[in-house]
Amino acid sequence: MPKQKIMSAITLPAKYLLIQNFKTPGTGSSYLLEMFSTLYPQEVAIIKTIFSPEELTEIIYSFKSRPLHPDMAGRIIHNTQKISACSVFTRACLEIWAKAFWLNNNAEDLENYIK
């Protein structure tokens, strides 16, 4: 798959972070996207072992009409001790995964989604 430029789509603070930590913003964004595409599925698998199907269903429904905001990643949901005990990265992945159900699956087959 050909790589596409994303620099015009990121915020100035994100661009500065990439410049500070990588040789170029393009190199940093490529690395982070590739890294996330590896870590995210692993984290979702872990999430599915932490929470029961009932808890996951409740979390998914809580994101039906809730938007995701990058500046709030990992800080949107803290309604249980179990969620609060998770790392910010785990909570952010949980939020993305819960919202993705509504964005990508047309609210079909929830049972298979949480397996």
- Per the CB < 8 A criterion, the answer to whether 39 and 21 are in contact is no
> What is the DSSP track for 3-69?
----GGGS-HHHHHHHHHHSSSHHHHHHHHHHHHHHHHHHHHHHHHHHS-HHHHHHHHHHTSSPPP-
- Per-residue model confidence as pLDDT tens digits over 13-33: 888 899 999 988 888 988 999
CA distance 1 to 111: 31
Confidence of residue 88 (pLDDT cuts 50, 70, 90): very high
Structural contact between residues 48 and 114, judged by C-beta atoms closer than 8 angstroms: yes
pLDDT at position 1: 55
pLDDT of residue 2: 60
Give the per-residue pLDDT at 3.
Answer: 61
